[in-house]
């Protein structure tokens, strides 16, 4: 049985990846420092699993991370440990520097030390974002050779980490692969992000806050499709390469809100008259459009997203309806942002 480490395995993408890998019969070691957005809700049932171990550690703790690698001698590491919310990075960038840059640096240092003393092959899959490419004009898509042009402290911290990874691959020959994914959605996502925030507000008969005129465009992928891509990259990906992971499903924030309202009304028979779209002042440096060219991963690794957006949104809405305990479990951690909106 192959052993895989998932850093940040109690977060949104991480928790979905942990369960996905366990279903694929891997032994999974989850390392997470359990910040505000971490949720043990979906992983509680795994505590007694013979193929799952959890360690509460920060990836900046080099000694502890090295001990875990030395103990289990894993075949691979998926690095999902990161601060991710753009609004929070604008309010206070420090945590993003510590986790997304220094944390990655320390993880690379640990990997370098581990490889000096162990001959077993290992791969590190570093999960990044499409936001490193910055604002993309209509009619164009970022490929793996596109220049980085980050706009927010969050995207700048992820871009910095990507550059660190690439330099360690070239200088120290570390076995690392980078994935740059578009916006994820699906079950167990902390409701400061757009889709779970809108679902939370619909279920609680609250206004739906949309920045600016709501025309900002994002490419959306269901987290299950993303997990499939990450495993494919681990199995077939080439060391030192980057792979864009996208769905080619772009839609404006306003249309996301309208589709969720339609789903709530016609599929789940929720008809809250007070739940209206509310346009709010745009956030600083708000990129208008992200869009990925994912032809490389299709051509080289034979992967493409399978879940249509409307189907995925309905499934996601249904998950939150059936898991209202999730909202209750994190209700004390809901973020009050600079606009005074509870999300």
Q: What is the pLDDT of residues 266-322, one digit of tens each?
A: 999 998 777 899 999 999 999 999 999 999 999 999 999 999 999 999 999 999 999
Q: Tell me if residue 282 is catalytic.
A: no
290 catalytic per annotation: no
Half-sphere exposure of 102 (CA within 13 A, CB side): 11
Q: What is the pLDDT of residues 217-255, one digit of tens each?
A: 999 999 999 999 999 999 999 999 999 999 999 999 999
pLDDT of residue 139: 93
- Comparing CA positions, the residue from 40, 137, 157 lying closest to residue 95 is 157
> Domain for residue 275, yes or no?
no
Of 32, 130, 192, 228, which one is the catalytic site residue? 130
Active-site position among 58, 131, 228, 287: 131
Residue 339 lies in a domain: no
Catalytic site residue from 52, 154, 211, 243? 154
Q: Is residue 343 one of the residues assigned to a domain?
A: no
User: Given a cut of 60, is residue 337 above it in pLDDT?
Assistant: no
Angle at 25 between CA 329 and CA 2, to 5 degrees: 110
The domain tally of the chain equals 1
Residue-wise pLDDT tens digits, 165-207: 999 999 999 999 999 999 999 999 988 899 999 999 999 899 9
Q: What angle do CA 280, 285, 291 make, to 5 degrees?
A: 95
pLDDT band at 325 (very low <50, low <70, confident <90, very high): confident
Residue 21 belongs to some domain of the structure = yes
In a domain, 313, yes or no: no
Could you count the other beta carbons within 10 Å of the beta carbon of residue 329? 14
In a domain, residue 173? The reply is yes
Confidence class for position 338, pLDDT limits 50, 70, 90: very low
- Does the reported pTM lie above 0.85? yes
What pLDDT was estimated at residue 339?
A: 43
Q: What CATH number does residue 32 fall under? A: 3.40.50.720
pLDDT at position 200: 92
**Residues of the chain above pLDDT 70, percent:** 96
Q: What is the pLDDT of residue 341?
A: 46
CA distance 158 to 83: 9
pLDDT-derived band at 40 (thresholds 50, 70, 90) equals confident
Per the domain annotation, does 102 fall within a domain?
yes
Identify the domain containing residue 75 by its residue range: 3-187+220-249+288-307
Check if the beta carbon of residue 133 is closer than 8 Å to that of residue 291.
no
324 belongs to a structural domain: no
Over the stretch 94-136, which tens digit does the pLDDT of each residue have? 999 999 999 999 999 999 999 999 988 999 999 999 999 999 9
Tell me whether residue 144 is one of the annotated catalytic residues.
no
């Amino acid at each position: 049985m192959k052993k895989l480490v998932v850093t940040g395995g109690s977060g949104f993408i991480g928790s979905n990846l942990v369960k996905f890998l366990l279903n694929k019969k891997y032994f999974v070691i989850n390392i997470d420092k359990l910040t505000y957005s971490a949720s043990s809700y979906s992983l509680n049932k795994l505590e007694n699993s013979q193929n799952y171990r959890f360690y509460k550690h920060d990836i900046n703790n080099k000694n502890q991370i090295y001990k875990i690698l030395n103990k289990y001698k894993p075949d691979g590491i998926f690095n999902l440990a990161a601060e991710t919310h753009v609004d929070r990075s604008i309010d206070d960038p420090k945590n993003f520097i510590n986790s997304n840059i220094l944390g990655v640096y320390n993880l690379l240092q640990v990997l370098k030390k581990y490889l000096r003393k162990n001959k077993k092959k290992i791969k590190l899959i570093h999960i990044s974002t499409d936001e490193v490419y910055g604002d993309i004009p209509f009619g164009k898509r970022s490929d793996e050779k596109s220049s980085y042009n980050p706009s927010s402290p969050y995207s700048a911290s992820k871009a910095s980490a990507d550059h660190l990874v690439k330099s360690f691959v070239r200088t120290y020959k570390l076995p690392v692969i980078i994935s740059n994914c578009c916006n994820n959605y699906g079950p167990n996502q902390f409701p400061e992000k757009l889709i779970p925030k809108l679902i939370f507000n619909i279920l609680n008969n609250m206004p739906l806050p949309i920045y600016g005129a709501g025309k900002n465009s994002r490419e959306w992928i269901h987290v299950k499709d993303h997990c499939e891509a990450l495993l494919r990259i681990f199995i077939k990906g080439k060391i030192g390469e980057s792979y864009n992971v996208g769905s080619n499903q772009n839609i404006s924030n306003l249309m996301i809100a309208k589709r969720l309202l339609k789903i709530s009304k016609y599929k789940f028979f929720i008809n809250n008259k007070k739940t209206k779209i509310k346009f709010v002042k745009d956030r600083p440096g708000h990129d208008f459009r992200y869009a990925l060219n994912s032809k490389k991963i299709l051509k080289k690794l034979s992967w493409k997203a399978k879940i249509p957006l409307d189907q995925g949104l309905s499934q996601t809405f249904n998950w939150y309806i059936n898991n209202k305990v999730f909202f209750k479990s994190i209700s004390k951690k809901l973020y009050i942002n600079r606009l005074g909106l509870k999300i």
